[in-house]
Amino acid sequence: MAPPVFVCEAAQLARDLVTLAGAEGHHATTVRRIGVGERVDLTDGAGLLAECVVTAARAGELDLAVVGRRREPEPGCRIAVVQAILKGDRGELAAEMLTEVGADAVIPWAAQRCVARWRPGRADRALGRWRSAAREAAKQSRRARFPVVTEQASTDQVLGRVAGAALAVVLDPRAGTALAALPFPASGEIVLVTGPEGGISPEESARFAAAGAVPARLGPTVLRASTAGAVAAALVLSRCGRW
């Protein structure tokens, strides 16, 4: 079984002896009940991972000896998913699945047809839930490089990202072309846009097309707005050679 992953500051990972404390130390000792002699991996979430062995365990703290380090390089082909804001906990679920699959960026999008809205004064709390879901999923899936969950983006901001992408795709179950049939670039950023429960509006679709995005469908069935992005990301990661 692979060792569990905990988050640590990069400066600590440069040391040969590390004390894991705070929320991560509490989780390791109280929830996971990790003890002396066990293997643990620490990461800064930006690509650096330290392989460690527990030398001492106290309530809320672990002392760790670093036995090896490795750095995961940035991928040549990056996957950014523009995920429309969803109602209930569907947004956090989407962020979690996108992280587990391997997306490099998750961009919450305030689409026209979103049922849920991040109102002023509440946006930080909602964004915090998405980021927390992504962080925990990154640890569970043992990623050394965590995805960036950006601030809430307007359609204009998404259009800017689309225009700068090596390839931008709008997921549309009615599109004539399958996502699997598209030619994928060997490098650069691939942006996948997935809409809310009510779908992407005709106005938004037209603006995305004008910015260079192409519409594509995933398959013969219509997926939930919370799962379409993860399925699309998995397909693209496979085509890019990252899976």
- Please give the structure tokens belonging to residue 130: 């998405």
CATH of 77-239, one of 3.40.1280.10, 3.30.750.200, 3.40.630.10, 3.40.640.10: 3.40.1280.10
Side-chain-side CA neighbours of 25 within 13 Å: the count stands at 15
If you average pLDDT over every residue of the chain, what do you get? 95
Indicate the pLDDT class of residue 5, thresholds 50, 70 and 90: very high
Contact 104, 229 (CB under 8 A): no
- Please give the structure tokens belonging to residue 82: 């523009």
Please spell the DSSP secondary structure of the chain, one letter per residue: -PPPEEE--HHHHTSSEEEE-HHHHHIIIIIS---TT-EEEEE-SBSEEEEEEEEEEETTEEEEEEEEEEEPPPPSEEEEEEEE--STTHHHHHHHHHHHHT-SEEEEE--TT-SS---TTTHHHHHHHHHHHHHHHHHHTT-SBPPEEPPPB-HHHHHHHHHTSSEEEEE-TT-SSBGGGS---SSEEEEEEE--TT---HHHHHHHHHTT-EEEB-SSSPPPTTTHHHHHHHHHHHHTT--
CA trace torsion 56, 59, 61, 65 (10° rounding) = 10
Show the CA angle centred on residue 129, arms to residues 30 and 61, nearest 5°: 20
> Domain ranges in the chain?
5-71, 77-239
Written out in words, the top-level CATH class of the domain with range 5-71 is mainly beta
pTM: 0.93
pLDDT tens digits for 181-215? 999 998 999 999 999 998 999 999 999 999 999 99
Residue 1 has pLDDT above 80, yes or no: no
Rounded CA gap, 166 and 77, in Å? 9
Rounded CA gap, 15 and 11, in Å? 7
Question: In Å, how far from its chain's centre is CA 220?
Answer: 26
- Please give the structure tokens belonging to residue 148: 């960036």
Indicate the pLDDT class of residue 120, thresholds 50, 70 and 90: confident
Question: Tell me, what's the pLDDT at 137?
Answer: 97
Sign of the torsion formed by the C-alpha atoms of 200, 136, 23 and 20 = negative
Question: Tell me, what's the pLDDT at 2?
Answer: 86
Question: Tell me, what's the pLDDT at 58?
Answer: 93
